[in-house]
């Protein structure tokens, strides 16, 4: 028999009854039932119940066991009584009577329990990550991650890609985040950098004549931590292709991503890749308030500025007199109650805004003169004098209806009916905003947004960059609270037509807004105009509110690259100094090429159903970019500093 086990803790079935077996694993749980010890023995594969009674020669040793001791047991497989079968585990029909026991690794008092689903502070979990990883949920997440990576690799090979490794120690490169610098011992005073991405190397692979490249690549960025982003390192599916257009990249990577989500998504719906919409960056910002929209939520925001210009709502009316301002509406189907509107108003205040204006539409009693007024309108009769006494509300729009009917046009008659419906019908706009702008403008907004009785709309105004983030967040909250967001779906969208440049509002400096190595749409000619109007062949893939993929068609022509960097304040000499290898390579017949990178950690995070990326990384840093288990970062020794020619300045 093997020194440690003949079977795993998931292997044994009723067919093994009577066999002598050897198992090894951890003591998951111990229960004492009338002097008989029931021990759940766990390994990576499953759990087997083992028993030890006072007649066993190792009963005293079994009594001394603690949770998470690592043990080896020998015993006899017996079938459980039918009433004691546990259908929740594969080994639930049997149990093993212990005949021999060896403690392979004793366990001290545990700082966190592996059995059960108790919550512990994240700091505790990360400090004792090796224990945290023994827990069922974490084991499941790490297996999922491994399986996802294996699936991605197979799918890429099946599409004709080859996997190549790129350097880990390289030169600093502007990728939109801070580099981790590595001092050079052989070249005192100089530094390498850990790669933020294999960007330049994968482009050089294309110049080298390899047509399709991919890699499960480690990337290093010194970033402020967020729930969906590691503060130090992450892994991505990195890929590049030669002689391709933007659509070719989409057609290649989308089936890979879709296939992984179909395989590991637990039965959630995944739209066919050809149905994934392509949304411009500008439209995504307008409709969703973000460039990574969650399309499970059907709410689409709209510009309603025209309805507030010159209106009785002075705040928006005066705001719209300023250049670059607008008012956007967030429709809220079924949200038409004052209680819900007040709750969303409080949400906006928590986000640092004075509040959100709102209108909600409710059912009201139809005016008793409604049918008579409609009959006269249909007949073209302009004598409405008797209604002045019967309806105060009617006086407000008598002259408008009369003027419309005198025009005699069929369209005017239709508009007259709409006006009567507005004032005398069964739907009423409510809320402070509705009172300020009046029923006609409120109705026009309702019609534009396609809303009805029981619905609401919320409004934010100003320069879009000042309120878009809150608007996007409000859209998400509204969708979730009203039950509009489809939780049983993975919804993908390509975001395209990113602006190449952005302007710092404080300094006025123009810089790259996205990947600096992208080809501008329109080539050199586009760069001769206003930089802020230049779009790049840049694209992201969003899923359920997260950016999963980012990529571009690359700028492979040196003259266009020099011009593109010049607009961002980098002279040719600086470009040659920082990207000399790539610029030099482009002088020798560089092919058109493009690609993308997909975040492995975020993909697994979505598939695991968690919003914290540290739940799917084996050994992550904490929120302060510290490894509490390995005590990193740590102080260097004086000898190390001397060898590198460095000294550490004390913090002021």
What does the pLDDT average to over 563-590?
Answer: 92
Whole-prediction pTM = 0.89
Q: What is the pLDDT of residues 143-188, one digit of tens each?
A: 999 999 999 999 999 999 999 999 999 988 766 678 999 999 999 9
Is it the case that residue 15 has pLDDT exceeding 90?
yes
pLDDT of 373 higher than 80:
no
| pLDDT recorded at residue 123 | 95
What CATH fold (topology level) applies to the domain 14-105? OB fold (Dihydrolipoamide Acetyltransferase, E2P) (2.40.50)
Give me the mean pLDDT over the 580-597 stretch: 95
Residue 398: the pLDDT is 67
pLDDT over 90 (residue 515)? no
Which superfamily does CATH assign the domain made up of 143-278+492-623 to? Bira Bifunctional Protein; Domain 2 (3.30.930.10)
Closest to 611 measured CA to CA, from 176, 229, 228 = 228
Sequence-distant (≥ 6) Cβ neighbours of residue 219 within 8 angstroms: 195, 196, 197, 198, 233, 234, 235, 236
Q: What is the pLDDT of residue 353?
A: 85
- Averaged over 17-35, what is the pLDDT? 95
More confidently predicted of 410 and 86: 86
Look over the chain and give the mean of its residue pLDDT values, rounded to a whole number.
92
Across 121-126, average pLDDT: 95
- The pLDDT value given to residue 370: 72
**Chain centre distance of CA 136:** 25
pLDDT of 30 above 90: yes
The ranges assigned to domains in the chain are 14-105, 143-278+492-623, 297-364+428-485, 370-425
At 308, the pLDDT band (50, 70, 90 cuts) reads: very high
When comparing pLDDT for 302 and 394, which is higher? 302
CATH fold for domain 297-364+428-485: Gyrase A; domain 2 (3.30.1360)
pLDDT of residue 363: 82
Helices within 89-135 (DSSP H only): 122-127, 129-132
* Whether 520 contacts 527, CB under 8 Å: yes
pLDDT of 539 over the 80 cut: yes
Question: Does the pLDDT at position 303 exceed 80?
Answer: yes
Distance CA 242, CA 571 (A): 28
Region 188-212: what's the mean pLDDT? Answer: 95
Lowest mean pLDDT among 188-202, 311-325, 353-367: 353-367
439-458 confidence digits (pLDDT tens): 889 989 999 999 888 999 99
**368 closest CA partner among 385, 393, 399, 403:** 393
Could you tell me where the DSSP H helices lie in 159-278? Answer: 199-207, 246-264
Name the percent of the chain lying above pLDDT 90: 78
The structure tokens 């809320």 sit at 431
pLDDT score of 369: 72
Q: State the pLDDT at residue 409.
A: 66
Query: Do 610 and 227 contact (CB within 8 A), yes or no?
Result: no
Report residue 352's pLDDT band, with 50, 70 and 90 as the boundaries.
Answer: confident
pLDDT at 395: 60
Contact partners, residue 581, CB within 8 Å, separation at least 6 = 200, 204
């Amino acid at each position: 028999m093997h020194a440690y086990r003949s079977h795993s803790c998931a292997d044994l079935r009723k067919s093994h009854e009577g066999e002598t077996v050897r198992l090894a694993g951890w003591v998951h749980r111990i229960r004492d039932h009338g002097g008989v010890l029931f021990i759940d023995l766990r390994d990576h594969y499953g759990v087997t119940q083992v028993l030890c009674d006072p007649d066993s020669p190792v009963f005293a040793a079994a009594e001394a066991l603690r949770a998470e001791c690592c043990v080896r047991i020998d015993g006899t497989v017996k079938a459980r009584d039918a009433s004691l079968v546990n259908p929740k585990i594969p080994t639930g029909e049997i149990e093993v009577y212990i005949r021999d026991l060896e403690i392979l690794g004793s366990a001290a008092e545990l700082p966190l329990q592996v059995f059960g689903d108790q919550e512990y502070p994240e700091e505790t979990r990360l400090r004792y990550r090796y224990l945290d990883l023994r827990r069922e949920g974490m084991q499941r997440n790490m297996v999922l991650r491994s399986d996802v990576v294996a699936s991605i690799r197979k799918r890429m090979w099946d599409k004709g890609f080859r996997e190549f490794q790129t350097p880990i120690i390289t030169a600093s490169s502007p990728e939109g985040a801070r580099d981790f610098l590595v001092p050079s011992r052989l070249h005192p005073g100089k530094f390498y950098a850990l790669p933020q991405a294999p960007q330049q190397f994968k482009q050089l692979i294309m110049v080298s004549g390899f047509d399709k490249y991919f890699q499960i690549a480690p990337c290093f960025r010194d970033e402020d931590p967020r729930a969906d982003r590691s503060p130090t390192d992450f892994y991505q599916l990195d890929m590049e292709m030669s002689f391709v257009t933007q659509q070719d990249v989409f057609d290649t990577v989308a089936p890979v991503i879709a296939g992984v989500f179909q395989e590991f998504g637990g039965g959630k719906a995944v739209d066919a890749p050809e149905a994934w919409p392509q949304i411009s960056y500008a439209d995504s910002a307008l409709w969703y308030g973000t460039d990574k929209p969650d399309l499970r939520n059907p709410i689409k925001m709209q510009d309603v500025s025209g309805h507030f210009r010159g209106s009785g709502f002075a705040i928006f009316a005066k705001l719209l007199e300023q250049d670059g301002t607008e008012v956007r509406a967030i429709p809220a189907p079924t949200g038409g109650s004052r209680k819900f509107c007040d709750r969303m108003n409080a949400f906006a205040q928590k986000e640092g805004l004075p509040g959100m204006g709102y209108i909600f539409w409710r059912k009201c009693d139809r005016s008793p003169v409604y049918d008579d007024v409609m009959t006269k309108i249909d007949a073209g009769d302009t004598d409405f004098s008797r209604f002045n006494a019967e309806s105060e509300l009617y006086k407000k729009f008598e002259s408008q209806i009369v003027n419309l009917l005198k025009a005699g046009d069929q369209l005017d008659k239709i508009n007259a009916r709409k006006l009567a419906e507005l004032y005398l019908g069964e739907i009423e706009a409510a809320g402070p905003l509705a009172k300020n702008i009046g029923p006609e403008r409120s109705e026009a907004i309702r019609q534009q947004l396609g809303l009805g009785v029981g619905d609401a709309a919320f409004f934010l105004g100003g320069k879009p960059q000042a309120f878009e983030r809150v608007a996007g967040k409000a859209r998400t909250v509204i969708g979730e609270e009203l039950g509009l967001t489809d939780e049983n779906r993975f919804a993908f969208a390509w975001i395209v037509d990113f602006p190449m440049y952005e302007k710092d509002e404080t300094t006025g400096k123009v810089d790259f807004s996205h990947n600096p190595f992208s080809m501008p749409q329109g080539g050199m000619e586009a760069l001769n105009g206003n930089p802020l109007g230049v779009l790049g062949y840049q694209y992201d893939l969003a899923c359920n509110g997260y950016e999963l993929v980012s990529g571009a068609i690359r700028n492979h022509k040196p003259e266009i690259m020099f011009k593109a960097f010049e607009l961002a304040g980098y002279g040719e000499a600086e470009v040659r100094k920082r990207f000399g290898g790539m610029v030099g390579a482009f002088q020798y017949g560089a092919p058109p090429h493009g690609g993308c990178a997909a975040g492995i950690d975020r993909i697994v995070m979505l598939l695991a159903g968690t919003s914290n990326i540290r739940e799917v990384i084996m050994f992550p840093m904490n929120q302060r970019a510290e490894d509490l288990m390995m005590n990193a970062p740590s102080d260097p020794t004086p000898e190390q500093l001397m060898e590198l020619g460095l000294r550490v300045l004390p913090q002021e």
